[in-house]
Structure 1
Amino acid sequence: MLLKETQEKLLPTLKKYFGYDSFRDQQQEIVESVLSKNDNLVIMPTGGGKSICFQLPALLFEGLTLVISPLIALMKDQVDGLKANGIAADFYNSSQESFEQAAIFEKIYSKELKLLYVAPESLSFLQNIITEEYISCVAIDEAHCISSWGHDFRPSYQQLGFLKQTLPNTPIIALTATADKATRADIVEQLNIPLAKQFISSFDRKNIELEVRPANDRISQIIKFIRKQPNESGIIYCLSRKGTEQTASKLKQNGINAASYHAGLNFAERSKTQEDFIYDKIKVVCATIAFGMGIDKSNVRWVIHYNMPKNIEGYYQEIGRSGRDGLKANALLFHSYSDVIQLRKFMSGATNEDVQAAKLDRMKQFSEANTCRRKILLSYFGELLAENCGNCDVCKNPPQFFNGTIIAQKALSVISRLKETEATGTIIDVLRGAHNATVLDKGYDKLKSHGVGSDISWRDWQQYLIQLMNQGYCEIAFHKNNALRLTSFSKKVLFDKEQVNLTKPVEYKEPVTSEKSSKTAKTTKAKKDTLFERLRKLRQEIALAENIPAYLVFSDAALKEMERARPMSESDFLDISGVGQRKLEVYGEDFIAEIVAFSNEKIKTRKKKDTHKITYDLYKEGFSIDEIAEKRNLKSTTIFSHLALLYTEGKDIDIYDFVSKQEVEKVRLAKEELESPQALKPYFEHLNAEIEYFKIRLALTIIDREG
């Protein structure tokens, strides 16, 4: 049972360090269970808030929370995020200098550190501190890596069972975004936590739009897709290293800033690509599956699968790297039978080949579905969706069926006449009446069926054959050079005239630019000067000045809420979800000033009395800055930002009562030397903290007005 005193600290701690006023879904129950020293298994979707389930208890435990994490880059990202929120955290790995490692141990011994991230391979170096004197909690992130049933098995995770034996009274919390029943049972058994409380959240990420397209001219489709949202970040997953490099190269040739990421690159190259992506220096990364695991970049707006993933767990985890902020995101998958064939080859001879093959079949069924894709995705994880989702390509464009019996008969007849020995490509060539080397050498041009389907395009025949396979009328013999063979159902179509329903293949064409769409494009361009864009620009300025990723300043979701709520006081700013006490202190003044300035520009025509005009009335009545702040329950820095705005409007403000001409000159020189940054912090540091923030703001206002 959790002490009342501890329970009362939960929401204030959540708000102070993470900026949230309430818990999501099962978070509070999980946090209370951890603080009650229970073992826990948490299955929660990417972006669902897993980290808070152990990070918040870490702040309330007396000792250290040890976090086991599979990747160094993942650790660094998590630690940077914690530090940005004012939480004492660090990571330990073998690449650090000995003095860095010694400093970490000092912090642990003096109980200054709340969270320490470490890879399982480095645990042996921490033997001295893995005792109940120092460790209050153990969190095992990406826990599916422990299980050979899982989609991302790592042998190093299988040693983690010793933690419960060494720390019998210390709560262990295992977390993952993807684990079916077999994997969940394996995690609990191998970690020696049989009594762990299991929390399984909904797998439904409603904000991600699901779409599958045939793999025709993928590069062209991807370029068009990216150009529709050029300022957004996205990841393209490819099956091979070569694929990542070729895709990135083709995108760059078309003016898209892209980079490749795979295990064949050296550590420095991989780190640079990852860092450039996190810091928004590049928008697109073409990667193999390892990229993005655990990276808390909340503003990834889309994920494209250039090739089909080998299982639904992997697909689900990878699309989950988009839209972590809860805003709209897109997941686009290209489906090709050549990918299925390639993946079959990869798994051939594996110890769990049967399991892998079954999982690939489920992935293939998802890709070829004619029903709501989200229903299929969620049912795989044991979650049933009563209604169609309305946010996948099948729901948005339900397939139109037609009587395709004659098409089916032509295709099956050719398969039969070729004695079930040829793969898809040759069958289509015969159907279309081709006279290429294969057809001529084998005498297929003499067959009665040669050219019976010449009125149908090669691509459409490819799609029809896939539909016939899906319905069981023919199948691929993977062990016989991928030849297409008839099934027991084929006879019903060829001889019993059974009706076959097919759907018209979807063709993706770029819409023709009309006068109307041209106007829409202009409107879109004109919309760029929104408060969101202004706040995003300010966020980028601050991120560059502090050398941290932009999303660690504020997420896109927080900026959207600022745009909606327009907070103009510190108390209102603190009400924004994602704004904690530390972020208010560090960034509040800059963002409030930007919101006030933008609002003033946009509502000049309104009759509504603005907050800064109330300040002006009190100023004209002779009240001092401190008196106005007290009357309005605002901080004096906010009142000064109001005065700066009023001065810009041409109101009668004795601005030099608050900032001297000498100070204005110093700021003017700093502005020239710093090349006019938007944030105040660079000025403050450049001037060696000699001029206060509010005076810098006023000085810049004077300089801008004079200019």
Structure 2
Amino acid sequence: TATPRVRDDIRQSLGIDAHNEYIGSFNRPNLFMEVAPKTEPLDQVLNLLAQYPNESGIIYCATRGQTDHLRSVLHRKGYSVRPYHAGLPEKERTENQERFSRDDIRIIVATIAFGMGINKPNVRFIVHYDLPGSIDNYYQEIGRAGRDGLPAHCLLLFGYGDLQKVQFFIAQKTEQEQRTANILLSQLMGFAETDLCRRVPLLNYFGETGVPNRCGMCDNCRMGEEEKELVDLTIPAQMFLSCVKRTGEIFGAGHIVDVLRGSNSQKILKFGHEILSTYGIGTAYSAKQWRHIARQLIQKSLLLYEYEHGSLKLTPKAWEVMRGKETFLGRMEGAKKEHGAVLRQREGEAETFDSGLFEILRKKRKELADQANLPPYAIFHDRTLKEMATYYPRTRESLSAIYGIGKSKLEKYADAFLDIIREHCQTHQIPERQKPAPMAEPAPIPPDDSGKRRYLVIGERFNEGCTIEQLAGDFNIQRSTVIDHLYLYLRKNHPLRQNNLLISSSLTSDQRQSVLSSFARLGTERLRPVFEDLNGTIPYEELKLCLLHQLCQDQNRPESHKTFVCLAASRKYGGYCLAGKEWVEGKAGPWLRPVSRQETGELSTQEIRMNNGDIPQCMDIITIETQGAADHPYQTENVLIAEKRPWIWQRKLPLDALPHLMDDVNSLWPTGFHSTNGVNDRVPEETVKEANEPSLYLIRPDGFTLVVSDDLDGRNKVRARFAYRDTPYLLSVTDPGIERTYLVKDHGEYPLRKRDLYLTVSLGEPFNGYCYKLVAAVITME
């Protein structure tokens, strides 16, 4: 179970050449994977056990206390069960493991301490009562099921409350370990919350490509058509989101549900939530239905779940639904079908076996195993016994065709088992059945390329509606190869549709944000720096897919649309002056300053409010619609905004990208011109027009101090004293955040001893024959 990064480490440590690396498939097609909302966990476990009477299984819990409690409950209900965790004496642990291996007990309730070295082939079910720590842990633990090749059931009970337990354990780690653990947890969340085939994110995590988009052996693939159908849940979604907002975005789903259903709990009365307009408006839905709606709002990124405190917060997408601009489609909680019986009807599996004969054979196996002091599976696997109970072999020749029976076992055990089968068939008048020979699947035939280059054919087929998985299957190539062809197709200036790209991704929205942020800081030319920046937790294939989506998005953006990273949102004549650098393909371009049709170009609050309801801040990446360049004698960066068109917030660029955005200039325009209260703070207008320089720079100053003093009209004024390239400056500050903090302070000087401090300096509108230099933004890395 080694991820690509672990495989690289192994190769490097052992000096193994990549050409001598052999990788087996991680796919275990006989394992049925199900993730169920953790609503009534004990009842959910009991329902599963009822589907597998007298079968062996393992139930994993997060803590010793939970392990002991669950084992005690199951024991009182008559189940053959023992615990296993590090708190038990070694002798008891060894005894419990040995008895489980020998079929003397059926169920082990354990922590992750159990399982290493276990090779019991007839484990029919694995339950994760609590959330595992990572996909690696999950895969290793479910890997202990179905080793005999017969179907096995893997149930993960997923509750958002469990995240706080996991987060508690993560908090005990070092800062670097916490970062890695949180990424691993995010990947596990992506697996648990996906509505696609579960094998896609699981196998992609381990670097396996060419995964079909439907396995037929997970809950998502087995979901009935009536369960898959989405209904309009806009109204209840608006109720829930509104209640989250009105309660201050500091409570979890349980409290929100109580408010919506009009509970009189002490907590509601304590916070005065009984007087809210959303109190009691949701009685038409049960608490269980509301929790199901809450999970879907989190899964579809309308709500952000804060791991540390368990609270819910609105995302920009939520406002679109709340304002009625977007419809929310989802599923209403209903009864789910049991999957246990379905497993036994898996396509390609042998016909239904004779359960009566199977039990007789199993007893004989146990008897022989005890006599030889061996675990039962060392005699025959369950799959072998089930085939005996399906085809009723009467001779040594027909018995040798049964799975798992070689020459040695035929000599040792043929007589004992053939006697039982013959007697059973004679009693019940059952004829022997011929076991069919296995048939090999024909290899897929790649489509005819009609003489075209392969990347052209694949690009055109993708634009016609084929998914990446379909193309991999049609051409009999790896999924990563399809992505490479699409990348080449786009780079050759062919248009590529983007709305079907991320459907193939197994990443969560948080993971995609991390990837895009890394591309923003490190560029898009090479993937390895991004891979290493993310500690190798995102597979290369997923990085390629995110890069392809970003490039496609940039390619398909209309000419009238501009995307920029905001580097100043300053005050200007009662309005705003915004400026930033164009953002194309994850890299910064030239400066851009959006302006209105006002004489001096200032923007109103209404004009700049983004689709998430916020005013732009530094490092926001925003897309706006423009009407071309705005005429200005020296501010060549100005673009005229389209009126009454929304500003679209894309994401936040991390502060550590600032060094990559800096301008390398020798001085801040011509120097030697000082106002009464400034130093090198202005330039004659005619000089500016003749110089043809940019009117904006992002710099890193030396010795930065804020000075609060009177202006010429007697009002308080904030100025910035600093040096740049050994030249002193004293400039007016128009950063609203700085003004709010320092205008209320006493006159004096306030040094900002921040090591990583950056300034956006702007050349303002002309006044009395001079253009004044202004500090439009003060940005710190803290």
Number of positions where the alignment pairs a residue of Structure 1 with one of Structure 2: 415
In 1: Cα distance, 2:425 partner to 2:135 partner: 46
In 2: Cα distance, 1:463 partner to 1:492 partner: 21
Opposite residue 491 of structure 1, the aligned amino acid is: W
2:235 is matched with which residue? 406
Q: Provide structure 2 residue ranges, at least 5 long, that are not aligned to the other structure.
A: 340-351, 434-782
SS in structure 2 of the partner of residue 558 of structure 1: helix
Q: CA deviation at 1:467?
A: 1.0
Which residue, out of 318, 324, 327, partners 1:499? 327
Q: Which has the larger radius of gyration?
A: 2
1:416 is matched with which residue? 245
Structure 1 residues 182, 510: closer, same or farther in 2, change over 3 A? closer
Matches within 5 A, 1:400-549: 400-479=229-308, 481-507=309-335, 528-530=355-357, 532-549=358-375
2:681 is matched with which residue? none
SS in structure 1 of the partner of residue 191 of structure 2: helix
Q: CA deviation at 1:587?
A: 2.1
CA contact (8 A) 1:260 1:287 kept: yes
Opposite residue 364 of structure 1, the aligned amino acid is: M
2:576 is matched with which residue? none
Matched-pair identity in %:
36
Structure 1 residues 510, 301: closer, same or farther in 2, change over 3 A? closer
SS in structure 2 of the partner of residue 352 of structure 1: helix
Is residue 2:16 matched to residue 1:188?
no
Is residue 2:165 matched to residue 1:330?
no
2:423 is matched with which residue? 597
Opposite residue 69 of structure 2, the aligned amino acid is: Q
Is residue 2:224 matched to residue 1:385?
no
Q: CA deviation at 1:438?
A: 0.9
SS in structure 2 of the partner of residue 285 of structure 1: strand
In 2: Cα distance, 1:189 partner to 1:558 partner: 42
Is residue 2:135 matched to residue 1:312?
yes
Q: CA deviation at 1:570?
A: 3.9
In 2: Cα distance, 1:483 partner to 1:332 partner: 26
2:184 is matched with which residue? 359
CA contact (8 A) 1:298 1:325 kept: yes
CA contact (8 A) 2:130 2:158 kept: yes
Structure 1 residues 217, 417: closer, same or farther in 2, change over 3 A? same
In 2: Cα distance, 1:562 partner to 1:342 partner: 47
In 2: Cα distance, 1:300 partner to 1:505 partner: 31
CA contact (8 A) 2:353 2:386 kept: no
CA contact (8 A) 1:188 1:196 kept: no
Which residue, out of 106, 117, 122, partners 1:294? 117
In 2: Cα distance, 1:199 partner to 1:510 partner: 39
Map Cα deviations across residues 26-81 of structure 1 (whole Å, 9 max, x no partner): xxxxxxxxxxxxxxxxxxxxxxxxxxxxxxxxxxxxxxxxxxxxxxxxxxxxxxxx
1:376 is matched with which residue? 201
Q: TM-score, normalised by structure 1?
A: 0.56
In 2: Cα distance, 1:461 partner to 1:263 partner: 39
Q: CA deviation at 1:241?
A: 0.8
In 1: Cα distance, 2:432 partner to 2:16 partner: 64
Q: CA deviation at 1:290?
A: 2.7
Which residue, out of 27, 36, 40, partners 1:204? 27
Q: CA deviation at 1:277?
A: 0.5
1:580 is matched with which residue? 406
Matches within 5 A, 1:608-687: none
In 1: Cα distance, 2:381 partner to 2:271 partner: 62
Map Cα deviations across residues 6-27 of structure 1 (whole Å, 9 max, x no partner): xxxxxxxxxxxxxxxxxxxxxx
Structure 1 residues 496, 591: closer, same or farther in 2, change over 3 A? closer
1:561 is matched with which residue? 387
SS in structure 2 of the partner of residue 390 of structure 1: coil
In 2: Cα distance, 1:438 partner to 1:297 partner: 49
Q: Greater relative contact order: 1 or 2 (C-alpha under 8 angstroms, separation 6 or more)?
A: 1
Opposite residue 151 of structure 2, the aligned amino acid is: K
Structure 1 residues 567, 494: closer, same or farther in 2, change over 3 A? closer
CA contact (8 A) 2:353 2:390 kept: no
Structure 1 residues 526, 298: closer, same or farther in 2, change over 3 A? closer
Map Cα deviations across residues 590-617 of structure 1 (whole Å, 9 max, x no partner): 123223333333438x799xxxxxxxxx
Map Cα deviations across residues 552-605 of structure 1 (whole Å, 9 max, x no partner): 11111222333345444445444443223332333232123223333333438x
CA contact (8 A) 1:401 1:501 kept: yes
Opposite residue 182 of structure 1, the aligned amino acid is: R
Structure 1 residues 246, 607: closer, same or farther in 2, change over 3 A? closer
In 1: Cα distance, 2:432 partner to 2:129 partner: 54
CA contact (8 A) 1:251 1:258 kept: yes
Q: CA deviation at 1:374?
A: 2.2
CA contact (8 A) 2:396 2:410 kept: yes
* RMSD of aligned residue pairs (Cα, Å): 2.5
Q: TM-score, normalised by structure 2?
A: 0.51
Which moves more between the two structures, 376-385 or 568-577? 568-577
More helix by share: 1
CA contact (8 A) 1:375 1:384 kept: no
In 1: Cα distance, 2:375 partner to 2:79 partner: 21
Is residue 2:54 matched to residue 1:231?
yes
CA contact (8 A) 1:203 1:383 kept: no
Q: CA deviation at 1:474?
A: 1.5
Structure 1 residues 331, 554: closer, same or farther in 2, change over 3 A? same
Q: CA deviation at 1:233?
A: 0.4
In 2: Cα distance, 1:499 partner to 1:558 partner: 53
In 2: Cα distance, 1:440 partner to 1:211 partner: 39
SS in structure 2 of the partner of residue 199 of structure 1: coil
Q: CA deviation at 1:391?
A: 1.9
Opposite residue 347 of structure 1, the aligned amino acid is: I
In 1: Cα distance, 2:404 partner to 2:392 partner: 15
In 2: Cα distance, 1:340 partner to 1:384 partner: 31
Structure 1 residues 536, 455: closer, same or farther in 2, change over 3 A? same
Is residue 2:223 matched to residue 1:394?
no
Q: CA deviation at 1:527?
A: 5.6
Opposite residue 556 of structure 1, the aligned amino acid is: D
Opposite residue 483 of structure 1, the aligned amino acid is: S
Structure 1 residues 607, 275: closer, same or farther in 2, change over 3 A? closer
In 1: Cα distance, 2:25 partner to 2:86 partner: 33
1:260 is matched with which residue? 83
Q: CA deviation at 1:533?
A: 2.4
In 1: Cα distance, 2:7 partner to 2:313 partner: 39
In 2: Cα distance, 1:210 partner to 1:574 partner: 33
Q: CA deviation at 1:365?
A: 1.9
In 1: Cα distance, 2:400 partner to 2:277 partner: 78
1:703 is matched with which residue? none
In 1: Cα distance, 2:335 partner to 2:390 partner: 38
More strand by share: 2
In 2: Cα distance, 1:307 partner to 1:400 partner: 29
Map Cα deviations across residues 164-206 of structure 1 (whole Å, 9 max, x no partner): xxxxxxxxxxxxxx11111111122233434672222222212
Q: CA deviation at 1:326?
A: 0.6
SS in structure 1 of the partner of residue 163 of structure 2: helix
Structure 1 residues 390, 603: closer, same or farther in 2, change over 3 A? same
- Large movers: runs of 4+ above 6 Å: none
Opposite residue 178 of structure 2, the aligned amino acid is: E
In 1: Cα distance, 2:132 partner to 2:242 partner: 33
Structure 1 residues 265, 192: closer, same or farther in 2, change over 3 A? farther
Which residue, out of 277, 280, 283, partners 2:103? 280
Map Cα deviations across residues 448-495 of structure 1 (whole Å, 9 max, x no partner): 21112122222221121121111111112334x222111122221222
